[in-house]
C-alpha cells in the first residue's frame, strides 16, 4: 500500500469521515514533516509510512472528542500533533498551536502557510506565560504529566471546557496525583491502525 492507501484504510478502520481533499492535505503535511525534519528535528521517525500511523492516525483519534468546541489549544505541539491534523479536518475550529521551542514553532508557522490553514495560529513561548486567551478544548500529546498539564493550563480553559490528554498506557499513577480542582470524566482506550502500542484518551474537567 502507498501512503494514501495506508491513510485511507486507517481512517476507514477508525470509522472517521474525512473527505479526499482533507486526506490529500494530511499527506502534504507529512511531506512537510519529512522535508523539514533534518533542519528542525521534529520527529525521531524517518520512515514516511510510519509517519502516517504514528503522526496522522494517532492524531486523528482526537477528532471524535472535539465535538462542538470552537476553540482548541494544542500545548507542546512540537511538530504539530495533534493540532495540525485536527485543524485540517475541522476548519470550523480555531486552533492555537503552542510550543516553547522556537525551531519547532518556525516549522509550524511554515506548515500553516504552506497548507493554507487560515484557522490556525502559532504561538512561541511557555504555556504558563500565555494570557488573555481561553479555549474550550485544551489538548496535548506526550507533553507532560497530567497534574502539570492541568496546573499550567487551568487559566486557559473556558468554563465548561475540557482537557483531552493523549497518553500511552493507562496513566493510573498520574491520575492519582491530579490537583483537587480537576477531575477525570472518562479514560478511553484508543485503537490506532498499524500502531502496535497502547493509547488512551484522558478527558478531564474542572470540578463544579
In this predicted model, what pLDDT tens digit does every residue of 134-167 receive, in sequence order?
A: 999 999 998 899 999 999 999 999 999 999 999 9
Angle 66-75-154 from CA coordinates, rounded to 5°? 85
Q: Is 128 annotated as a binding residue?
A: yes
Q: Counting beta carbons within 10 angstroms of the beta carbon of residue 190, is it exposed (0 to 12), middle (13 to 18) or buried (19 or more)?
A: middle
Q: Is 127 annotated as a binding residue?
A: yes
In this predicted model, what pLDDT tens digit does every residue of 22-62 receive, in sequence order?
A: 999 999 999 999 999 988 888 888 777 788 999 999 999 99
Q: Is 141 annotated as a binding residue?
A: yes
Q: Is 5 annotated as a binding residue?
A: no
Q: Which triple of cell numbers denotes residue 170?
A: 493507562
Domains of the chain: 3-206 (3.40.50.150)
Q: Is 15 annotated as a binding residue?
A: no
Q: How far apart are CA 73 and CA 95, in angstroms?
A: 6
- pTM comes to 0.97
CB 204 within 8 A of CB 180: no
pLDDT band at 86, cuts 50/70/90?
very high
CB 62 within 8 A of CB 75: no
Amino acid at each position: 500500500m502507498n501512503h494514501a492507501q495506508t491513510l485511507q484504510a486507517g481512517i476507514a478502520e477508525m470509522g472517521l469521515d474525512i473527505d479526499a481533499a482533507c486526506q490529500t492535505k494530511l499527506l502534504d503535511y507529512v511531506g512537510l514533516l519529512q522535508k523539514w525534519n533534518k533542519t528542525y528535528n521534529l520527529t525521531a521517525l524517518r520512515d514516511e509510512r510510519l509517519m502516517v500511523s504514528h503522526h496522522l492516525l494517532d492524531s486523528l483519534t482526537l477528532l471524535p472528542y472535539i465535538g462542538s468546541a470552537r476553540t482548541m489549544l494544542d500545548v507542546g505541539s512540537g511538530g504539530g500533533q495533534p493540532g495540525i491534523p485536527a485543524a485540517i479536518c475541522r476548519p470550523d475550529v480555531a486552533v492555537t498551536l503552542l510550543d516553547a521551542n522556537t525551531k519547532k514553532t518556525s516549522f509550524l508557522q511554515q506548515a500553516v502557510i504552506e497548507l493554507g490553514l487560515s484557522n490556525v495560529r502559532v504561538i512561541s513561548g511557555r504555556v504558563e506565560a500565555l494570557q488573555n486567551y481561553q479555549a474550550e478544548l485544551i489538548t496535548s500529546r506526550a507533553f507532560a504529566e497530567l497534574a502539570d498539564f492541568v496546573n499550567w493550563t487551568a487559566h486557559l480553559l473556558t468554563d465548561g471546557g475540557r482537557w483531552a490528554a493523549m497518553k500511552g498506557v493507562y496513566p493510573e499513577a498520574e491520575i492519582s496525583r491530579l490537583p483537587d480542582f480537576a477531575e477525570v470524566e472518562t479514560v478511553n482506550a484508543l485503537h490506532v491502525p498499524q500502531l502496535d502500542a497502547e493509547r488512551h484518551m484522558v478527558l478531564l474537567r474542572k470540578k463544579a
